[in-house]
Structure 1
């Protein structure tokens, strides 16, 4: 049965399966915007991380059932709590005790084991956090995928921005009260964590709120449970809520500063309690993991002896790695504009104490989706014949543009009437000819051109004012162009003389609404595709709510101390489900045909320290 049919059995399965979030549906966009504004405004006044300083604190250990284990399987998944089909497909794949993985090329399929540690890398629910949202979109699907497990795998979770939109209230109730989620066992007491792993590895999760800062109780926690226990040669895995290393090249040169500062002061060095001086620990961060961007991309450290061109670095376990894998269930993100190389920290960073020269990380060739597919899929937003066309994928968007263009017609009609010496737009539409319309359109365009020239002159006279081009103005002008086209059509229509003024006006408004719904939506989609920065670039993919291209990371910590990363992708998601009896849950949805799994790229090996191979 389909997801919508499963909803009829919500009482039996214990949750209500949900559809994928439609991010540009007007109602959804408005509700999310309100939550974002409230969270941003009040975050500094009600920071629950400060309150967490009074809670119990302890480091965690994995695996739970084998304290003396010499190896470990770890699963990492992020951006997961959205549509049922995508989220549950990933959950069922994670829950499989043994997983056959199709290798690229002629290599035979490999076998991996379910992680004894499951790391949720942020944004565990969409669009905003709530108790009901977590239950329906994350807890229910994961509980159904693994109702019980004899080995009691440990689950740790890091909050992302969507988890913070309710001030972290629901997140702490779900993940910080040591309650199991099906067969997975939660054990953390705060929104950040330290997990001690075998073979002198440490895994930590950092909570930077909404990209702001690390609070003092959190820093004391890491000073006590991480820094004070690091020994020379220890390897550290850092999980952060967003890939600030990419943002440092993309939007803000200071985005990576907080993580770099933490690395220098809490991993590579620690504070001597006697003298207050910073002493080297001999440990290093070997792997950075994150989600937030819903794709797979990896950046590898460029070693001093490297001469290969960007993107062609040969495998070397000495390289540090930065991996983004946000394929857990939410919409797919683009990869075709990812920077090729990242000097960290970048030259524009205002951080006082930093690595000099900066360490350069090169993007690996393999991404998911790859660059060509990413470009092709982005363009679907503006293709009316595609099921991913903006108004088709976002219910209510066409109605919104229809209403906007009905209002625009009234405004332009009134201005057109004034230009003809009359007050009623209906009279101007009925009696004007092509010459009058051309004069009005020409005058309107001339006024816009004058405004642009005045703005340009202002910038030339005051060069110190760095004003970026207004993309919002471009979007508005595109809608005005559509409205002018509607006005031209209305002027050209030979309305019968017998029609009253109100009938003509209603016909014009219907025309404006119909044309605006189609051409207005298309103009907005084309504007989104033309964007090269800002929120509009994210809408190119989020506006399509693409459910395919899902996956996660599986890591193997070997007895020799090396970690191997297996980036796994599902070949499609399950859309057909069977309802089966279960002794633990009563009823649970089971995939009619579980998806197959493949490697996105060859496994990546990371040594615990940068020893010579």
Structure 2
């Protein structure tokens, strides 16, 4: 049966009700949330430990025991269903072949999928997340048969049956940072669908918060930062990453300063000589 994908958002239409609603949501978000209520501070208040280096709500260190690791990166996913499905289908393939330097190479599917925000355009809601984001990914790679789409995960990670701990799970996993469009409702939809669901199609979602640190093999790290609508991280997020770098990542002081003074104006994947990868979101 042909999927009932949504068309692309009519960005250049002056009569689109969705775009008028997006403008209204943005105005409300800036007026009510910026400087008044910050979901990131609420997340920090609900953390399970005061020791930032052992905070498994945002620190995922079980990847570092692998011999090697492949990861895929994609962003700005939730526009037209056909285009989103095309990319998701490529990500779902066990491997793809491509020509690099004149020779054919086989690239395996990433053990890890990192998504860089703006999950569903033009504004976040249950409808746009389900139809523009989850739908195409579920058609690309289906979740387990026993998984119920309406299930709300209250104690993540909900490891699949037969798996005793996360480092034993060998299937593809996904981590996501919110973009500015995901913040138009104060991050409510993102928290419900990303932080309280366990599967994006066939990708397992262990993520509990809107930002995270992933410890990869051979000294590599990925930092996923949540910049909200401010274009900056909040003080609690800064404290977590600063203490993590000081105690576990072993940055030099100049590199730590550079890490938090990057220009966050574009989606970027920045690899430093200290073998850390910083992923930020579109503003």
Matches within 5 A, 1:529-540: none
Alignment partner of 1:128 out of 100, 107, 123: 123
Provide the residue aligned with 1:91 in structure 2.
88
Q: Which has the larger radius of gyration?
A: 1
The correspondence for 1:196, drawn from 205, 211, 215, is 215
- CA shift at 1:183, angstroms? 1.8
Q: In 2, distance between residues paired with 1:153 and 1:133?
A: 24
Unaligned 5+ segments in structure 1 are 8-16, 248-262, 269-282, 294-613
Residue in 2 that maps onto 1:51: 42
- Between the aligned partners of 1:190 and 1:226, the Cα distance in structure 2 is 19
Among 139, 146, 152, the residue aligned to 2:141: 146
Deviations 1:462-509 (A, max 9, x none): xxxxxxxxxxxxxxxxxxxxxxxxxxxxxxxxxxxxxxxxxxxxxxxx
For 1:166 and 1:188, the matched residues in 2 are separated by: 20
For these two proteins, the number of residue pairs brought into alignment is 241
Cα distance change, pair 19–178 in 1 and its aligned pair in 2 (3 A): closer
Superposed CA offset, 1:137-180 (max 9, x none): 11111122111588322211000010001110010111112512
Match for residue 173 of structure 1?
192
**Retained in 2: the 8 A contact 1:206–1:239?**
no
CA distance in 2, matches of 1:205, 1:134: 20
TM-score (norm 2): 0.75
Q: CA deviation at 1:285?
A: 6.4
Cα offsets for 1:71-103 (capped at 9, x unmatched): 110111000011111000000000101111133
Q: Which has the higher contact order (CA 8 A, sep 6+)?
A: 2
Contact 2:43 2:209 in 1 (8 A): yes
Matched, 1:231 2:250: yes
Q: Runs of 5+ in structure 2 lacking a partner?
A: 48-54, 145-168
Q: Is the 8 A contact 2:174 2:206 kept in 1?
A: yes
Q: Does 1:42 align with 2:62?
A: no
CA distance in 2, matches of 1:132, 1:290: 26
1:71/1:232 CA distance change after superposition, 3 Å:
same
In structure 1, the residue matched to 2:9 is 21
Deviation sequence 1:202-223 (CA, Å, 0-9, x none)? 1111111113432222123223
Deviations 1:237-288 (A, max 9, x none): x999x963669xxxxxxxxxxxxxxx9xxxx9xxxxxxxxxxxxxx846545
1:79 corresponds to 2:70: no
CA–CA separation in structure 2 for the residues paired with 1:239 and 1:139: 32
CA distance in 2, matches of 1:31, 1:239: 36
- Tell me, in whole angstroms, the C-alpha distance in 2 between the residues paired with 1:163 and 1:125: 8
Please tell me whether the aligned partners of residues 177 and 281 of structure 2 are also in contact (alpha carbons under 8 angstroms).
no
CA contact (8 A) 2:143 2:200 kept: no
Residue 222 of structure 2 contacts residue 279 of structure 2 at CA under 8 Å; is this kept in 1? no
Counterpart Cα distance in 2 of 1:213 and 1:125:
22
How far, CA to CA, are the matches of 2:259 and 2:251 in structure 1?
A: 21
In the superposition, relative to structure 1, how do residues 6 and 232 fare at CA in structure 2: closer, same or farther (>3 Å)? closer
Q: Who is 1:487 aligned against?
A: none
CA distance in 1, matches of 2:74, 2:94: 16
| SS of corresponding position for 1:204 | strand
Q: Is the aligned partner of 1:108 residue 2:128?
A: no
Aligned partner of residue 109 in structure 1, secondary structure: strand
Name the structure with the higher helix share. 1
TM-score (norm 1): 0.36
The answer to whether the 8 A contact 2:221-2:277 is kept is no
Query: Is 2:226–2:280's contact at 8 Å kept on the other side of the alignment?
Result: no
In structure 1, C-alpha distance between the alignment counterparts of 2:259 and 2:133, rounded to whole Å: 20
| 1:371-390 paired onto structure 2 within 5 Å | none
Partner of 1:30: 20
RMSD: 3.2
- 1:111, 1:290 → 2: CA distance? 28
Aligned runs of 1:53-72 on 2, under 5 Å?
53-56=44-47, 57-58=55-56, 59-61=59-61, 63=63, 68-72=65-69
| Aligned residues of 1:194 and 1:205 also touching (Cα < 8 A) | yes
Q: Is 2:224–2:280's contact at 8 Å kept on the other side of the alignment?
A: no
Secondary structure of 2:218's counterpart equals coil
